[in-house]
Chains A and B, each alone.
Chain A
Amino acid sequence: DAMVIQNPRYQVTQFGKPVTLSCSQTLNHNVMYWYQQKSSQAPKLLFHYYDKDFNNEADTPDNFQSRRPNTSFCFLDIRSPGLGDAAMYLCATTRLGTSGRIDTQYFGPGTRLTVL
Chain B
Amino acid sequence: GQNIDQPTEMTATEGAIVQINCTYQTSGFNGLFWYQQHAGEAPTFLSYNVLDGLEEKGRFSSFLSRSKGYSYLLLKELQMKDSASYLCAVSPSLDDKIIFGKGTRLHILP
* Interface residues in chain A, defined as those with a beta carbon under 8 Å from any beta carbon in chain B: 31, 33, 35, 40-45, 48, 50, 55, 88, 90, 94, 96, 100-110, 112
Inside 8 A of B101's CB, which chain A residues have their CB?
42
CB of B31 within 8 A of CB of A103, answer yes
Q: How far is the CB of A74 from chain B (nearest CB, A)?
A: 13
CB of A102 within 8 A of CB of B44, answer no
Ordered by A's residue number, 9 sampled pairs between the chains whose C-beta atoms are within 8 Å are A41-B102, A43-B100, A55-B96, A90-B43, A94-B96, A100-B95, A101-B91, A101-B94, A102-B30
CB of B42 within 8 A of CB of A107, answer yes
Count of interface residues, chain B, beta-carbon cutoff 8 Å? 24
Q: Which of A42, A96, A100, A112 contacts B100 (CB 8 A)?
A: A42
Contact A96 B45, CB 8 Å, known A102-B31, A103-B31 = no
Q: In the assembly, what is the distance between CA of A57 and CA of B40, in Å?
A: 25
CB closest residue in chain A, given B101: A42
B106 interface residue per 8 A CB criterion? no
Contact A96 B96, CB 8 Å, known A42-B101, A42-B102, A102-B30 = yes
B80 interface residue per 8 A CB criterion? no
Contact A42 B103, CB 8 Å, known A102-B31, A102-B96, A104-B48 = yes
CB of B33 within 8 A of CB of A105, answer yes
In chain B, positions 1-57 with a C-beta closer than 8 Å to chain A are: 30-31, 33, 40-45, 48, 50
Binary contact readout B68-110 vs A (1 if CB under 8 angstroms, 0 otherwise)? 0000000000000000000100010011111111110100000
Inside 8 A of A41's CB, which chain B residues have their CB?
102
Q: Which of B31, B40, B43, B97 contacts A43 (CB 8 A)?
A: B43
Q: How far is the CB of B35 from chain A (nearest CB, A)?
A: 8
Q: In the assembly, what is the distance between CA of A44 and CA of B87, in Å?
A: 12
Q: How far is the CB of A25 from chain B (nearest CB, A)?
A: 13
Contact A107 B98, CB 8 Å, known A42-B103, A101-B31, A102-B31 = no
Q: How far is the CB of B32 from chain A (nearest CB, A)?
A: 11
CB closest residue in chain A, given B43: A107
CB of A100 within 8 A of CB of B94, answer yes
